[in-house]
Amino acid sequence: MAGQSCSQLSLFTPDEVEFMAEDELVEIVPNLRMDSLNFICGDYGPFYPQIAIQVPLWLALALKKRGKCTIRPPQWMSIDNLTQVLEGERESHAFQSLPFHYVEISRLLFDHARDDIPEIYMVRSLVEDIRDVRFHKVETNLENFTASAVTWKNMAAMEVNIIRAFSGRALQAFYRHENEQLIPDLDRTQDRQPQNLNDRPRRNLRPR
């Protein structure tokens, strides 16, 4: 049978979310000379020593591991910006604007590019505080679900992934309960036991 043991097809593992984050562009300063790289996913280069260039994160990390470049932390990861964001998060109910993959990008840079980030301990603690405050907001907002479409501005990929399964099932349950009141299920035969299979097709739903 087809591989992956995950029975819930629609869930992304954190590694897969990180995989998607690795395509984001970052700036690096190479210390070698290299011709253009013509990848399937795009063309990058040519690389000149001490000339900054934008490359995808996975490429930056690969070069960094081999000692061929230094990575410049992105603008949003400066201490000033992060302090501002943290204050904004604490003050308002809405989410502050951060890159969609900020969790993954910051994690990867902390792990592999420690020496390229000035005052890394401060930056790291700020990012963790921001994550905590935002997730706390997510949890509080979960109490306000209704059956209709829920919208959220500025939520990040990792946060979405964490609540995806739970909120999907919760919203589905809300929707089903709300609709059952309006549309009676006319086709229950008397001798059928009420079955709880998730996949059982619904019968004769009249469009509203």
> Which residues lie near other proteins (CB under 8 A)?
1-4, 9-10, 12, 19-20, 23, 34-35, 37, 39-42, 58-59, 62-63, 66, 68, 148-153, 155, 157, 160, 164, 167-168, 171-172, 175-176, 197-203, 207-208
Closer CB to other proteins, 122 or 165, in the complex = 165
Strand duo 42-44 + 69-72: pairing:
unpaired
Q: Cβ of residue 168: shortest distance to other proteins, in angstroms?
A: 5
Q: How far is the CB of 162 from other proteins (least distance, A)?
A: 12
Q: Minimum distance from CB of 3 to other proteins (Å)?
A: 5
Nearer to other proteins, 120 or 163 (CB): 163
Q: How far is the CB of 120 from other proteins (least distance, A)?
A: 26
Confirm if 89 and 134 have CB atoms less than 8 A apart. yes
Closer to other proteins at the Cβ: 31 or 78? 31
Q: Least distance in Å: CB of 41 to other proteins?
A: 4
Q: How far apart are CA 173 and CA 97, in angstroms?
A: 31
What's the CA gap between 53 and 30, in Å, rounded? 8
For 21, counting Cβ atoms within 10 Å of its Cβ (0-12 exposed, 13-18 middle, 19+ buried), the class is: buried
- How many other CB atoms are there within 10 angstroms of residue 72's CB atom? 17
Measured from the CB atom, the residue of 54 and 172 that comes closer to other proteins is 172
Q: Decide whether 79 or 150 has the Cβ nearer to other proteins.
A: 150
- CA separation for the pair 37, 149 (Å, rounded): 44
Q: Give the shortest CB-85-to-other proteins separation in angstroms.
A: 18
Residue 53 burial by Cβ neighbours in a 10 Å radius (0-12, 13-18, 19+): middle
CA distance 166 to 168: 5
Instruction: Identify which of 79, 87, 90, 159 has the alpha carbon closest to the alpha carbon of residue 124.
Output: 79
| Nearest CB to other proteins, comparing residues 35 and 91 | 35
